[in-house]
């Protein structure tokens, strides 16, 4: 059906069809003139302008007299104004000629126009009948449409609202809403938005409107209008607010409960939980209300069956019931919960939901279980205690604290102490020797609750006093405070402690002597090096000097040094810890060494020494160090005894040999011993000396050593008549020791050898080198083992003499290095040491078999051993892998 816009387009095409030929004509004439080389275009320009003026004038007349009335007619027909009012349309004067043409144009569309008008009327009726507010508003706030509901809302006519002078916000107060916000929210991509506006109309009425706005855009996306549909939600808002307030009140009541409030379907799916239950489960409300969560899954199988049976018993007539369940909570904890359940049923009587209020009763249930367990355990412990108490061999008594009364005794208490259950007063405390000790025990027990090792004297069944240790505990017996006491008889222990205490000082003295011996041995060892130098150089001075006075002086120096050397060797022999070694022993030498060791003490005490040593005296087979200890102990004992008598003080030692027996007699003119002392003289730890003066072990040790050598020791003494010790030792298996002259004879001198001396003490090294050079040897000195290894690599060495104790690489380290570097040279190695006490040195010597010469060095012995070793290598007795 033609519309006004279509008529306008038809008219524009008609005018274009008229003007276009004129333009083509004028353009053709111009081109012809140019081709014909005509110089003037003015006439043609006048013609063109005139033609355009005529066309313009015709256009204006046609628009005013024909086109505009036709368009108005079409619009009038569309709006149905003529049909409503029954009025006739007055046709302009110039329109009549064209009336037939218009009728012809619109005849075929009248039916369509009528249908369009009917359809529009229907939509208009629908819009106007709406109770919602429907408006169309341009971006500048001017309205192009408003339905009757909106007109009634604002109290204005449609004509007033659609007036160009009216603005959308004229109907409302200044704070009603923001139209600009709506304009900014709608876009061609998202043309619809919803807003709520609250405020007041210009007449003061309060409004709350919910708007659904749709933006209308042109082809370029520019916002043309906003069509809005609104409804008054004030009453709904007030109702919603009232409902929310009511819900909040009920929610506060439910959520503030410490009890659990839940709603659950019979299948275990939750529809409501309060905060208390969420906290108990340590889960959020969303997790618990999730359809995948089933409350029945947290119940152990047995509890789940009980709960389902419980639900089955709920009916519309009896919808309420209670029960206690053991829940396995989601966090893994097991809790006892008490529930009050209310069933909710549908019209058919089916259970649809269960509303439950619960509380955690784990503490109560666990307390009850603990009480029952405690009672059971108490009964078991009571039985166990009686069984243990009766099985313990110690007397056990339980007595009341508030008054002496025996509440329990075991069988040993009855037999040892004669106590029975039920005794009270003095009868209950009759076993205590001193009741004040019982009071002291009770006072400590009430203060600390436990007392151990409390000493007290008691009386046993036979009336004999016994020493006891009481261990007590504060307990409750039959509801009364009581003392549980275990009594230990320590009478024998106290007797043994008294005996041990009497001998403790003896042990202390023994330890001091052992420490002193170790100290003296250390001092003796430190003297080895300087003594070796003194002995060596004095020997060389005596041997090579031609001046008799110098030789005499050197002889005295050498003798004094030899004496010091013998004393040092004696100390070392006494301090050395090694297994007994048997060999030929000259008893006379042992006696001389012992007297030499104790010479200063004997001389300072003013004791006269007499010796009668048989010559020759058979050797015995034994351990020289042990026999030396026996003689030394007897000499020291005699010296201490002689200090108790006035001068003259005499010590006599006699040695004899008869019938394969060597006899040693050590006698003094001291105070002697009474019979009681003499009978116990050889008992271990027995002594008559004051504390600090003796250990009581010397004579017992002497007896043990002599007995181990298949000998005997006897004591003959009377009070005031001195003391005489006689030692008898067998001599049958011993061989005669060579005479000193033969032992000290120098062997034939071997050929000159290349010898390397290794010692960190320069004096010792120089002395050894000088002695060996006098024998014609080529001697090189190395001040440590590393220098020795370097010399071994560079030079051929026939013999290597090394100290064992050296800083850095020591003698054993040098030996192992030579095993890697030149294995054969280890057989040409001779060690010199003054530290034979060290166990690691003993182990090294025992493992390798390396020859060792002990310091202090005797020049003759040292040179003889060196010559023997060189001769053995020359004669081929020792294989050497060079």
Report which DSSP code applies to 147.
Answer: -
Residue 658 tokens read as 């008869």
The rounded distance, in Å, linking the Cα atoms of 709 and 716 is 21
The token duo for 166 is 């009216």
What is the distance between the terminal CA atoms of the chain, rounded to a whole angstrom?
137
Mean pLDDT of the chain: 76
**By the 8 A CB rule, do 158 and 145 touch?**
no
Q: CA-CA distance, 790 to 778, in Å (whole number)?
A: 17
Contacts of 828 (CB under 8 A, 6+ apart): 797, 798, 799, 800, 869, 873, 880
**Residue 407 CB: number of other CB atoms within 10 A?**
19
Q: Which helix (H) or strand (E) holds 822?
A: none
Alpha helix locations (H) across 470-598? 491-544, 548-575, 587-597
CB 660 within 8 A of CB 642: no
Contacts of 424 (CB under 8 A, 6+ apart): 403, 404, 405, 406
Overall size of the chain counted in residues: 882
Contact between residue 619 and residue 737 where contact means Cβ atoms under 8 Å apart: yes
Residue 591 to residue 613: CA distance in whole angstroms: 9
| CB crowding 215-229: b at 16 or more within 10 Å, else e | beeeeeeebebbbbb
User: Distance from CA of residue 690 to its chain's centroid?
Assistant: 58
Q: Which residues in the chain come in under a pLDDT of 50?
A: 1-2, 80-89, 91, 93-95, 98, 101-102, 105-106, 577, 690-697, 734-746, 877-882
Q: What is the spatial distance between Cα 571 and Cα 700, in angstroms, rounded to a whole number? A: 21
- The three state secondary structure string of 289-336 is HCCCCCHHHHCCHHHHHHHHHHHHCCCCCCCEEEEEEEEECCCCCEEE
**Which residues 6+ apart lie within 8 Å of 229 measured at CB?**
132, 133, 134, 211, 212
Q: Which helix (H) or strand (E) holds 350?
A: none
Q: State how far the Cα of 816 lies from the Cα of 824, in Å rounded to an integer.
A: 12
Q: E strand or H helix at 604, and its extent? A: helix 599-604
Q: Which two tokens stand for residue 772?
A: 């060996």
Strand order in the sheet with 480-489: 406-409, 396-400, 480-489, 465-477, 450-459
In angstroms, what is the C-alpha Rg of the chain? Answer: 68
- Per residue, what are the HEC states of 74-132? HHHHHHCHHHHHCCCCCCCCCCHHHHHHHHHHHHHHHHHHHHHHHHHHHHHHHHHHCCC
What is this structure's pTM? 0.35
What's the pLDDT score for residue 87? 45
3-state SS string for 365-425 = HHHHHHHHHHHHHHHHHHHHHHHHHHHCCCCEEEEECCCCEEEEECHHHHHHHCCCCCCEH
- CA dist list (Å): 710 to 525, 601, 620, 661, 704: 33, 31, 11, 11, 10
Closest C-alpha among 188, 106, 99, 201 to residue 150? 201
β-pairing verdict for 396-400 and 406-409: antiparallel
> φ and ψ at 105, to 5 degrees?
-70, -45
Q: Can you tell me the distance from the alpha carbon of 84 to that of 343, in angstroms, rounded to the nearest whole number?
A: 68
**844 SS3 class:** helix
Alpha helices in 186-328 (DSSP H): 234-255, 275-281, 285-289, 301-312
Nearest to 592 by CA among 637, 561, 624, 621: 624
DSSP secondary structure string for all residues of 415-458:
HHH---TT-BGGGTTTTBS-HHHHHHHHHHHHHHSEEEEEEEEE
Which residues 6+ apart lie within 8 Å of 708 measured at CB?
Answer: 580, 626
Paired tokens of 397: 């008594």
Helical (H) or strand (E) element with 198: strand 192-200
The span from the CA of 303 to the CA of 328, in Å, is: 10
Strands 712-717 and 723-730: antiparallel
For 111-161, the pLDDT digits (tens) are: 666 766 666 676 667 667 677 888 888 888 888 888 888 888 888 888 888
Sign, CA torsion 785/790/793/795? negative
What sign does the CA torsion over 92, 96, 101, 105 have? positive
On whether the CB atoms of residues 452 and 441 are closer than 8 A, the answer is no
Evaluate whether 310 touches 354 at the Cβ level (below 8 Å). no
The Cα–Cα gap between 664 and 628 comes to: 12
**Confidence at residue 253, expressed as pLDDT on a 0 to 100 scale:** 55
Pairing of strands 351-360, 133-137: unpaired
Contacts of 750 (CB under 8 A, 6+ apart): 867, 870, 871, 874
Residue 693's H or E segment, with its range, is none
Alpha-helical (H) ranges within 95-233 are 99-106, 110-129, 148-154, 158-161, 179-185
What is the DSSP code (8-state) at residue 690? P
Beta-ladder partners of 232: 209
Largest CA distance in the chain: 193
């Amino acid at each position: 059906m033609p519309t006004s816009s279509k008529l306008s387009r038809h008219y524009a095409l008609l005018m274009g069809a008229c003007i276009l030929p004129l333009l083509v004509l004028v353009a053709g004439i111009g081109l012809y003139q140019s081709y014909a080389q005509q110089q003037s275009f003015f006439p043609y320009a006048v013609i063109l302008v005139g033609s355009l003026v005529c066309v313009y004038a015709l256009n204006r007349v046609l628009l005013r007299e024909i086109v505009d009335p036709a368009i108005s007619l079409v619009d009038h027909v569309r709006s149905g104004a003529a049909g409503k009012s029954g009025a006739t349309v007055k046709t302009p004067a110039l329109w009549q000629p064209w009336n037939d043409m218009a009728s012809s144009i619109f005849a075929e569309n009248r039916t369509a126009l009528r249908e369009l008008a009917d359809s529009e009327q229907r939509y208009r009726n629908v819009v106007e009948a709406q109770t919602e507010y429907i408006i169309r508003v341009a971006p500048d706030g001017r309205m192009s449409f408003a339905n009757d509901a909106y007109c009634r809302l604002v109290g204005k006519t449609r004509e007033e609202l659609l007036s160009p002078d009216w603005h959308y916000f004229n109907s409302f107060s200044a704070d009603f809403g923001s139209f600009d916000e709506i304009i900014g929210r709608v876009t061609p991509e998202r043309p619809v938005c919803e807003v709520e506006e609250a405020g007041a109309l210009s007449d003061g009425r309060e409004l709350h409107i919910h708007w659904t706005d749709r933006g209308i855009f042109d082809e370029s996306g520019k916002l043309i209008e906003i069509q809005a549909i609104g409804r008054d939600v004030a009453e709904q808002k007030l109702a919603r607010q009232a409902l929310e307030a009511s819900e909040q009140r009920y929610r506060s009541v439910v959520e503030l409960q410490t009890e659990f409030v839940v709603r659950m379907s019979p299948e275990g799916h939750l529809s409501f939980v309060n905060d208390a239950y969420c906290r108990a489960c340590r889960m959020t409300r969303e997790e618990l209300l999730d359809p995948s969560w089933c409350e029945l899954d947290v119940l152990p199988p047995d509890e789940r069956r009980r709960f389902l049976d419980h639900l089955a018993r709920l009916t519309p007539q009896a919808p309420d019931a209670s029960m206690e369940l053991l829940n396995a909570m989601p966090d893994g904890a097991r809790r006892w919960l008490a529930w009050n359940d209310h069933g909710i049923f549908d019209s058919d009587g089916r259970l649809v939901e269960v509303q439950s209020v619960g509380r955690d009763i784990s503490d109560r249930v666990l307390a009850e279980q603990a009480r029952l367990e405690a009672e059971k355990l108490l009964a078991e412990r009571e039985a166990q205690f009686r069984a243990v108490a009766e099985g313990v061999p110690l007397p056990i008594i339980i007595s009341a604290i508030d008054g002496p009364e025996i509440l329990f005794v075991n069988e040993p208490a009855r037999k040892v102490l004669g106590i029975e259950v039920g005794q009270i007063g003095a009868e209950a405390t009759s076993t205590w020797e001193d009741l004040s000790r019982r009071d002291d025990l009770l006072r400590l027990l009430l203060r600390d609750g436990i007392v151990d090792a409390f000493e007290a004297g008691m009386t046993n069944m036979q009336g004999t006093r016994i020493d006891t240790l009481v261990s007590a505990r504060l307990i409750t017996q039959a509801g009364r405070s009581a003392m549980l006491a275990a009594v230990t008889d320590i009478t024998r222990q106290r007797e043994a402690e008294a005996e041990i205490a009497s001998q403790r000082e003896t042990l202390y003295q023994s330890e001091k002597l052992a420490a002193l011996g170790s100290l003296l041995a250390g001092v003796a060892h430190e003297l080895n090096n300087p003594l070796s130098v003194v002995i060596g150089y004095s020997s060389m001075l005596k041997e090579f000097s031609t001046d008799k006075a110098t030789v005499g002086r050197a002889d005295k120096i050498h003798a004094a040094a030899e004496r010091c050397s013998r004393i040092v060797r004696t100390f070392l022999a006494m301090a050395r810890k090694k297994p007994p070694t048997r060999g030929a022993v000259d008893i006379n030498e042992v006696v001389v060494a012992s007297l030499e060791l104790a010479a200063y003490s004997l001389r300072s005490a003013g004791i006269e020494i007499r010796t009668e040593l048989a010559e020759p005296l058979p050797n015995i087979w034994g351990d020289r160090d042990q026999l030396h200890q026996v003689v030394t102990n007897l000499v020291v004992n005699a010296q201490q005894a002689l200090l108790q008598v006035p001068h003259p003080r005499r010590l006599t030692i006699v040695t004899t040999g008869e019938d394969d027996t060597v006899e040693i007699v050590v006698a003094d003119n001291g105070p002697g011993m009474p019979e009681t002392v003499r009978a116990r003289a050889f008992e271990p730890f027995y002594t008559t000396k004051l504390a600090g003066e003796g250990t009581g072990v010397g004579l017992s040790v002497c007896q043990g050593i002599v007995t181990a050598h298949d000998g005997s020791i006897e004591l003959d003494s009377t009070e005031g008549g001195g003391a005489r010790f006689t030692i008898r030792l067998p001599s049958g298996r011993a061989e005669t020791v060579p005479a000193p002259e033969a032992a000290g004879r120098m062997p034939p001198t071997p050929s000159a050898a290349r010898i390397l001396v290794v010692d960190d003490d320069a004096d010792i090294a120089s002395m050894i080198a000088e002695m060996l050079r006098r024998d014609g040897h080529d001697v090189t000195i190395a001040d440590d083992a590393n220098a020795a290894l370097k010399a071994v690599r560079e030079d051929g060495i026939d013999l290597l003499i090394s100290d064992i104790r050296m800083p850095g690489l020591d003698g054993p380290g040098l030996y192992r290095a030579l095993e890697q570097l030149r294995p054969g040279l280890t057989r040409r190695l001779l060690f010199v040491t003054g530290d034979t006490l060290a166990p690691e040195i003993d182990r090294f010597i025992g493992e390798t078999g390396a020859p060792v010469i002990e310091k202090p060095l005797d020049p003759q012995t040292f040179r003889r051993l060196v010559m023997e070793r060189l001769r053995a290598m020359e004669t081929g007795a020792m294989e050497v892998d060079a």
